[in-house]
A and B are shown apart, each in its own frame.
Chain A
Amino acid sequence: MSVITIERKILEKNDEVAGRNRALFAEHDLFVLNVVSSPGSGKTSILERTIEQLRGKVSLAVIEGDVQTDIDAQRVARLGVPAVQIVTRGGCHLEANLVHEALKNIELQNIRILIIENVGNLVCPANYDLGEAMKVVVISTTEGDDKPLKYPNMFCFASVLLINKIDLLPYVNCNIEQLRLNALSINPNLRVFETSCTTGVGIQTWCEWLLQHTTHPE
């Protein structure tokens, strides 16, 4: 037998393309978010609210990732923001090359913030760098306060946690303080915001932070 020593990352191709995306973002002075959550936590709703809140303050574009259909891109495009849909056809996460292709359909020089909505999945997207500046993880109060402990990967590598659907707190068995503590026990550096897309509570605070962070990154 002969041994061929390789010592390379299995996902090196993805990392390479993510690096190229990152260089492109830097060249255009673009702040890029990778938004992840389980299906239905409210990613698209938060995007819609964020777009409305930041209208006239900063130029945004959106890349939507879903297994099937361009419903989400249509929802966002209705608000007058450039939106490109990636359909993964079964793929449970976005990969850097899919984003790279999607970028060809966006005029980057006119954009300041690019929001990428990942495929609804709390596990797989953690392994795939897209070239983003930060990951934003969304969890809704209907999912229960133990989710960060059960699905730690995403919480570990995210910079921001949005606890969404707080309007439903009176009706669900979710202790929001416990949820926050559980998330912070995984990653104490998480920046946590509480939001409701139904009432709009918390959206302004989140958007002010985002705007501030885009212009003056820590």
Chain B
Amino acid sequence: MHEMSVAQQLLHLIRRNLNGANEEDVRSVRLRIGIGAGIVTESLRFCFEALVASSSFRHASLLIEETPFTIHCQACGSVSPSEPLILLCPACNSHRVQVLSGTEMELIEIEVADVEEKII
């Protein structure tokens, strides 16, 4: 439900990191989204496409890398993949676990067209 607000924040973040490039020249946007981040990736893609269609980012396509949910057990030291958001060590059943990955929502990089690749 909040994918639209996330997509808007994403465009702001891209604008802040263009380093002088033009918005029209952004070709791809690569994200890292954990499977436990509470984001429906299809919905995020839909919102992104709806927002960019009528904006200067219209040539940008969205690439999403999904990261697995992994936990680190402080009891037995093991690192295991787990069902998203289940805070239980599958090796020793301890609850003393820390989430290592799988809740991130990050902008990794953007690709920008060079002069000769520009769409006129």
Contact = CB atoms under 8 A, between A and B. Distances in A.
B19 A156 contact: no
B13 to A, nearest CB: 6
Interface in A161-194: 185-189
Contact of A124 (B1, B17, B31): B1
Contacts of A123: 1-2, 38
A40 interface: no
A2 interface: yes
Interface in A1-36: 1-14
Contacts of B19: 4
B84 interface: yes
B18 interface: yes
Given A6-B107, A186-B85, A127 B2 contact: yes
A43 interface: no
Tell me whether chain A's interface is mostly helix, strand or loop, or mixed.
Answer: mixed
A153 interface: yes
B112 A4 contact: yes
Contacts of B58: none
A2 B113 CA distance: 6
A3 B109 contact: yes
A144 interface: no
B109 A4 contact: yes
Going nearest first, the 7 A-B pairs with the smallest beta carbon separation are A188-B95, A124-B2, A152-B85, A156-B85, A153-B38, A10-B105, A92-B1
24 contacts: A1-B113, A2-B114, A3-B109, A5-B109, A6-B14, A6-B108, A6-B110, A7-B107, A9-B104, A10-B6, A10-B31, A10-B106, A10-B107, A13-B9, A91-B5, A92-B5, A95-B5, A126-B38, A127-B6, A127-B105, A152-B86, A185-B86, A188-B87, A188-B88
Interface of B: 1-2, 5-6, 9-10, 12-14, 17-19, 21, 27, 31, 36-39, 84-88, 95, 104-114, 117
